[in-house]
Amino acid sequence: MALGVVVTAQIMILLDATVVNVALPSAQVDLGFSDANRQWVITAYVLAFGSLLPLGGRLADAYGRKAMFIVGLLGFAIASAVGGAAPNIGTLVTARAVQGGFAAILAPAALSLITVIFTDLRELNKAFGIFGAVSGSAGAIGLLLGGLLTDYVSWRWCMYVNIVLAVVGLIGGLTLLHNSIEPDKPKLSVPSTVVGSAAIFGLVFGSARAQTDGWGSAVTLTPLVVGGLLLVGFVVLQKVDRHPLIPLRVLADRNRSAAYLTLFLANAAVFAVFLFLTYYFQGVLRYSPITTGVAFLPLMVTIGVVATLTQGVLLQRLTMRFIVAAGLIASGAGAALLTQADAGSPYAAWVLPGLVLIGTGIGSAAVVAVAVGQMGVEPRDAGTAGALNNVSQQLGSALGVALISTFVATATNHYLTDHGSTAVVGATVHGFAIGFWWAAGLFWAAAVICGALIRGGTSLHHEAGQPEPLDGIVSALI
């Protein structure tokens, strides 16, 4: 039952990432804001979420996971209510930013609670399998739910639905969860917090601006360069700070480092696939929002089935290296199949098998990566490990979508130049194909890199090994 409470919170966070996307066109018509302002409904949330995640993870370690879980749920619900009732774009964007801030508190607390609740390794594996299956499919469920609510009720209910989930989570959290604070709870470092948050803010903001202003513009390059420099400074600061925001011991284990890298690259690829498939369904095939959600159902079902199979069977027989590498290769093959879909292709020809293969990979590789990113960490760092899991996913999705969107736009423009301005549909499909190829490349690159980093023979049903020096990563790559 406690796991159900934690999973409810995760569903709320991940649903919000896609359900609002479907509702955006209706919200734009209702509130009358411009296309230029539309992106900020999404960007405000991502900026706050990504930038504050390291702080949110440390707050869970310092002040208790249950306490931060309740605070995150309550704040997220209130911000959702304000966003649903927003009379103008300013209120909506502000509410979305506040949502992201409280999501940064809630997400690492929820993930670290699993580590605290389930002390038996066999049960912990099952819990992470369920958690990973929900995480992998909640985004696609959001597309279906967003279409239903927008078409039959109002776009505002895409925000209000969070209140229902939050109430369930609050009741369950107050009655079923126990607060856990480590005896040597960490103190918060103001310099580390400021530098770390500013670094992530710069990287995410620059990536978001690249989608509209291009990678060569000053408004894109400046925050990216500053964010990158601050990130380097942040790593150096963690080595000398007495109370680091992200202790480097959390990253010292090769398996955990590989897990975070897997989540970064896999989310960069899968969110790009989500975005371009949504446009392909609605813009090329002329699907309605509801039909678009239904078209994603095979992906959701596959993730759930494979995740269950992974935690129940595969983890008992195969090594982590094999599961992650094979899953990423399968997802890459699925993205490659999507490149063959054109304006006249039947859904069952290329899209359906592509979605099944991508779901197979995400249901195995990503589920294992989420578990390994959290396992073997010291109890005092459980919240920080949860934050790193989420930071990897947020940065991956933001940077991946921004980068691949640029390649798609360039390919589309070149196609129009070569074939004339009337070949809009052909240019659009060609651009999406290029995007799917890049997604496939990211999946396959992740398979190679993570296969090299993961310790040979590692099996998740055994105790995780002791953290190794960071030098081990270099030797593994060699």
d(CA 287, CA 206): 32
**pLDDT, tens digit, for every residue of 202-260?**
988 887 777 677 778 888 899 999 999 999 998 899 888 888 877 888 787 788 888 88
Half-sphere exposure of 234 (CA within 13 A, CB side): 23
Higher pLDDT, 135 or 319: 319
Residue 53, amino acid: L
CATH 3.40.50.720 fits 253-478, yes or no: no
Locate the domains of the chain by residue range: 1-184, 189-244, 253-478
pTM, two decimal places: 0.75
Count Cβ atoms below 10 Å from residue 148 Cβ, excluding itself: 17
Q: Which CATH superfamily is domain 1-184 in?
A: MFS general substrate transporter like domains (1.20.1250.20)
Between vectors from CA 52 to CA 46 and to CA 55, what angle results, nearest 5°?
160
Residue 187, amino acid: K
Higher pLDDT, 358 or 190: 358
Structure tokens at 268: 């960069």
Banded pLDDT at 360 (limits 50, 70, 90): very high
Q: Which residue in the block uniquely carries the two structure tokens 């670094």?
A: 199
pLDDT for position 334: 96
Q: Is the pLDDT of residue 15 over 60?
A: yes
- Smallest Cα–Cα separation from 311: which of 106, 134, 441? 134
**pLDDT, tens digit, for every residue of 432-450?**
999 999 999 999 999 998 8
Between vectors from CA 67 to CA 64 and to CA 69, what angle results, nearest 5°?
105
